[in-house]
């Protein structure tokens, strides 16, 4: 099934998934709840996005607490202790603070005292970018273990007066423990990443950074919230995701039928379905859980992967294809044999 000679080399170290985990806040916000605060309907939201409910951070939840809990669950499934982790990457656009990094908070919460830790901001593509970086460190032999986390509290930067965006977002975290091994499953077989900074305006949250510092009054107070050009993003996302999937299949010498589960960023069920159809994935191989979580940006793929593993939809030896598109603009993918 895997014919690429560079992939088959038995001497090569593989970055293999040892465990997955996730964590979402207890509070659930349904479409009916949104009908009380903006002019919308359950029918509009479900038809246009596929979302029925999302989890929203409570006062005690932060990006780091969600990330740390997802990590604990992944470590437990991997049968590993926090001290065994050598590298922690947290992908997020809703960090704990400007600095220190969320990853440093997670390291401290876990007691992962032998790891170095940093954050990565690639919006919704953050988790696939982070996997590709961890893959390089593990397959080169530089580190033996890594914890890759996608975590968000998007509710903290959501404009609950803007009906076209507020209904989309949820909070949560997902994590993967990676190990460098020289036998067993292939692990991360291929990663690819792209960005186009010239289209930054399509998806953004402008305050407070160096361009719009807290010391200067904002031209528009809504600049503290996420602002999305949904229609533009929709069409570009479909095109880029199709390109990514075709590239991954070609580079790994795989057919669509070889993919046990296509796990795209949960941006919009309509986008996922139209891409899945265009690429001829069988319906049961297209994973969608946006109905329960909304769009959780960098957290959406690891939450989905964890659900697939926990429910047996993805089993050991299966090949999964992770694909993301998001602010930056950024896009990327990983092919993984579990
Ligand atoms: N309820 C009812 N009506 C609504 C709502 C709502 N919540 N929101 C918008 N509408 C109305 C609009 O006002 C518009 O009305 P009009 O025709 O009278 O002007 C109509 O519905 C259609 O609006 P569109 O924006 O054209 O709706 P569309 O079908 O494009 O769906 C959506 C909008 C769901 C946002 C879609 O474009 C989308 O999913 N885009 C991609 C999402 C995205 O950008 N995700 C990335 C976010 S960034 C990140 O993940 C961190």
Question: pLDDT band for position 11 (50/70/90)?
Answer: low
Q: What is the mean pLDDT of residues 232-236?
A: 90
CA-based end-to-end distance of the chain: 14
**Tokens in use for 257?**
């039928």
Cα–Cα distance for residue pair 316/236, rounded to 1 Å: 33
pLDDT over threshold 70, residue 2: no
Cis peptide before 310 (omega within 30 of 0): no
Q: What is the mean pLDDT of residues 198-222?
A: 96
Ordered by start, the domain boundaries in the chain are: 14-184, 188-337
pLDDT over threshold 70, residue 6: no
**Tokens in use for 107?**
């390291």
Q: How far is the CA of 301 from the centre of ligand 1 (A)?
A: 22
> Which phi and psi (to 5°) does residue 279 adopt?
-90, 0
What is the CATH superfamily name and number for domain 188-337?
Answer: Thiolase/Chalcone synthase (3.40.47.10)
- Concatenate the DSSP letters of all residues of 128-171 into one string: HHHHHHHHHHHHTTS-SEEEEEEEEEGGGG--TT-HHHHTTB-E
Q: What is the pLDDT of residue 12?
A: 83
Q: What is the pLDDT of residue 232?
A: 86
pLDDT over threshold 80, residue 112: yes
Cα–Cα distance for residue pair 21/16, rounded to 1 Å: 15
Cα–Cα distance for residue pair 220/2, rounded to 1 Å: 53
CA-nearest residue for atom 30, ligand 1, is: 231
Q: How far is the CA of 129 from the centre of ligand 1 (A)?
A: 27
- Which residue bears the tokens 């690819």? 192
Q: What is the mean pLDDT of residues 282-307?
A: 98
Which ligand 1 atom is nearest residue 49's CA? 34
Q: How far is the CA of 97 from the centre of ligand 1 (A)?
A: 30
The residues near 129 (Cβ < 8 Å, ≥ 6 apart) are: 91, 120, 122, 193, 330, 332
CA-nearest residue for atom 26, ligand 1, is: 231
Q: What is the mean pLDDT of residues 243-256?
A: 98
Q: How far is the CA of 269 from the centre of ligand 1 (A)?
A: 13
To test ligand 1's pocket by mutation, which of 32, 36, 43, 48 has the most ligand atoms within 8 angstroms of CB?
Answer: 48
Q: What is the pLDDT of residue 4?
A: 46
Domain 14-184 in this protein, CATH class: alpha beta
Helix spans in 140-261 (H):
163-166, 230-252
Three-state DSSP at 255 gives: coil
Strand partners, 119: 90
Q: What is the mean pLDDT of residues 232-254?
A: 96
| 301 ligand 1 Cβ < 6 A | no
CA-nearest residue for atom 4, ligand 1, is: 164
**Tokens in use for 232?**
């533009």
Identical fold for domains 14-184 and 188-337, yes or no, is: yes
| 31 ligand 1 Cβ < 6 A | no
Question: pLDDT band for position 231 (50/70/90)?
Answer: confident
Q: How far is the CA of 164 from the centre of ligand 1 (A)?
A: 5
Q: How far is the CA of 212 from the centre of ligand 1 (A)?
A: 27
CA-nearest residue for atom 2, ligand 1, is: 40
Q: Is the pTM of this model over 0.85?
A: yes
Cα–Cα distance for residue pair 6/180, rounded to 1 Å: 17
Residues 193-208 have pLDDT tens digits of: 999 999 999 999 999 9
> Please, are residues 292 and 56 in contact by the beta-carbon 8 Å criterion?
no
Question: So which residues are the catalytic ones?
Answer: 124, 265, 295
CA-nearest residue for atom 36, ligand 1, is: 230
Q: Which one, of 220, 236, 187, lies nearest residue 17 by Cα?
A: 187
The residues near 313 (Cβ < 8 Å, ≥ 6 apart) are: 261, 287, 307
> Please, are residues 178 and 134 in contact by the beta-carbon 8 Å criterion?
yes
Percentage with pLDDT > 90 across the chain = 94
Side-chain-facing half-sphere of 90: CA atoms under 13 Å: 31
Using CA atoms of 110, 112, 116, 117 in order, give the dihedral in degrees to the nearest 10. Answer: -10
| 40 ligand 1 Cβ < 6 A | yes
| 326 ligand 1 Cβ < 6 A | yes
Mean of pLDDT over the chain: 96
For CA atoms 289, 222, 202, 248, the dihedral sign is: negative
Lowest mean pLDDT among 5-9, 120-124, 155-159: 5-9
Cα–Cα distance for residue pair 162/170, rounded to 1 Å: 15
> Please, are residues 324 and 331 in contact by the beta-carbon 8 Å criterion?
yes
pLDDT over threshold 70, residue 128: yes
Q: What is the mean pLDDT of residues 257-261?
A: 98
Q: What is the pLDDT of residue 121?
A: 98
Q: What is the pLDDT of residue 8?
A: 45
Q: What is the mean pLDDT of residues 234-249?
A: 96
Instruction: Give the Cβ contact number of residue 87 at 10 Å.
Output: 23
| 234 ligand 1 Cβ < 6 A | yes
pLDDT over threshold 70, residue 333: yes
Percentage with pLDDT > 70 across the chain = 97
Residues 32-72 have pLDDT tens digits of: 999 999 999 999 999 999 999 999 999 999 999 999 999 99
Residues 140-189 have pLDDT tens digits of: 999 999 999 999 999 999 999 999 999 999 999 999 999 999 998 999 99
Q: What angle do CA 282, 172, 268 make, to 5 degrees?
A: 40
């Amino acid at each position: 099934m895997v014919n690429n000679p560079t992939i088959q080399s038995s001497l090569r170290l593989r970055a293999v998934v040892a465990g997955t985990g996730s964590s979402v806040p207890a509070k659930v916000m349904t479409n009916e709840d949104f009908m009380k605060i903006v002019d919308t309907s359950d029918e509009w939201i479900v038809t246009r996005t596929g979302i029925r409910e999302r989890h929203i951070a409570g006062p005690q939840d932060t990006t780091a607490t969600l990330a740390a809990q997802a990590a604990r669950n992944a470590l437990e499934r991997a049968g590993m202790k926090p001290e065994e982790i050598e590298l922690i990457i947290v992908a997020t656009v809703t960090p704990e603070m400007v600095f220190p990094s969320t990853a440093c908070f997670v390291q401290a919460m876990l007691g992962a005292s032998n790891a170095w830790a940093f954050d990565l901001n690639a919006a919704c593509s953050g988790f696939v970018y982070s996997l590709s970086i961890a893959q390089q460190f593990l397959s080169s032999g530089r580190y033996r273990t890594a914890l890759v986390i996608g975590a968000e509290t998007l509710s903290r930067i959501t404009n609950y007066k803007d009906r076209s965006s507020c209904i989309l977002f949820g909070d949560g975290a997902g994590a993967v423990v990676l190990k460098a091994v020289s036998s067993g499953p292939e692990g991360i077989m291929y990663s690819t990443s792209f960005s186009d900074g010239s289209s930054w305006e399509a998806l953004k949250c402008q305050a407070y950074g160096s361009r719009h510092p807290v010391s200067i009054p904002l031209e528009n107070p809504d600049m503290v919230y996420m602002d999305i050009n949904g229609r533009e993003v929709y069409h570009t996302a479909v095109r880029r995701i199709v390109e990514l999937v075709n590239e991954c299949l070609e580079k790994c010498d795989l057919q669509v039928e070889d993919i046990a589960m296509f796990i795209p960023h949960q941006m919009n069920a309509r986008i996922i379905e139209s891409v899945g159809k265009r690429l001829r994935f069988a319906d049961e191989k297209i994973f969608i859980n946006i109905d329960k979580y909304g769009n959780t940006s960098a957290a959406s793929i690891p939450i989905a992967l964890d659900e697939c593993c926990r429910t047996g939809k993805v089993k050991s030896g299966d090949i999964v294809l992770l694909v993301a598109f998001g602010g930056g603009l950024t896009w990327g993918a990983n092919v993984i044999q579990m």
